[in-house]
Amino acid sequence: MTSGKKKSSDDPKSRIVCTNRKARHEYDVVDELDCGIVLQGSEVKSIRNNKISIDEAYGRVDDGEVWLIGSDIAEYPQATMFNHERRRKRKLLMSRREIRKFAEAADHDGLTLIPLSVFFANGYVKVRLGLCKGRKLHDKRERMKEQDAQREIRSAKLR
């Protein structure tokens, strides 16, 4: 008997476009949230062609709205005069309750909003936003040592 739910990998309209791999190394992710993003048509076309970078991007709360700053979406060559600015601020779509929860945590606890990935869900572009706490250099080294130890343990079990 099969369930009525489909996996996201089964849906042809769902796919991950880009991930911010450095974010997991440089930050501890406390909480994650998927939210929509306001885009122009040429931006969506560029994202479909994987022409987006979120390595230097971050989220900022301004007047009760969340903005994605520093993301780079390449210009779409066929858009000619209707093209977009590459590094403009883009509004993120979240409910008021989610904005309040994330904004309070980011302001009071010294946390940062970092985009972890950009993906398509049901034909819409979504951003997975993480509430992150920065790591110190010694924390990064410690985590790498732990991962190496875990890797060695797994390989020893397989032998």
Could you say which DSSP state residue 95 is in? -
Write out the chain's pLDDT in tens, 159 residues: 344 444 445 566 678 888 988 888 888 888 888 999 998 888 888 888 888 889 889 888 888 888 999 988 888 877 777 777 777 888 999 999 988 888 777 777 778 889 999 999 988 999 999 988 887 777 778 888 888 889 988 888 887
Domains delineated in the chain: 15-158 (2.40.280.10)
| Nearest-5° Cα angle at 108, 107 to 110 | 75
